[in-house]
Structure 1
């Protein structure tokens, strides 16, 4: 179980109820264990962050990045966030909203390949 900040519970609920179009599209392809039978969660609090999508079985975080992520401040905030999550053993895959909206099959393929690699890495 990853560190959970219960103070973010309401904020994560609000984010689930107000997902971006890119998040909705990606969620439609991650939900209901569609990728290798793996459970994904959306808008999951970890540490002091709320990650867009989280799969505990393969220690994966997926982020859909809007334009605010590509400013100097946004890039630095993401670097700090990714580093903190990496210290928990989590891999962060980032996709910009344009990729998700225009190339959803390619995005899902990247997620699928990462998950497949992790599953076989953990097999005895």
Structure 2
């Protein structure tokens, strides 16, 4: 199983290297359109290799997807926590009832109830 995992990550790494080598050309990344930048007197732009832009875009997409999924599953996680607390409460109650039943010395249920209340 470890071999398959290592082989998979080696293939992923090789693909990333090939993408990087194929897309080494420099591109200009602008934060706003050129006309608006000229109007405001700001021109926030950066020259980066294309593969860096691709990897950053994929990483940003993954982060947005993970955050979206985490927020979407909030209700499921809160339901699971409440059910877990309920199960633990019921487990403790059953243990107490078993302990009380084991403490009863009489074989007769009616006498055991009378001893417990009296």
Question: Do Structure 1 and Structure 2 share a fold, with TM-score over 0.5?
Answer: no
Q: Which has the higher strand share?
A: 1
State TM-score, norm by structure 2. Answer: 0.25
Indicate the structure whose relative CO is greater, using CA pairs within 8 Å and at least 6 residues apart. 1
Higher helix share goes to which structure? 2
Provide TM-score, normalisation by structure 1. 0.24
Bigger Cα Rg:
2
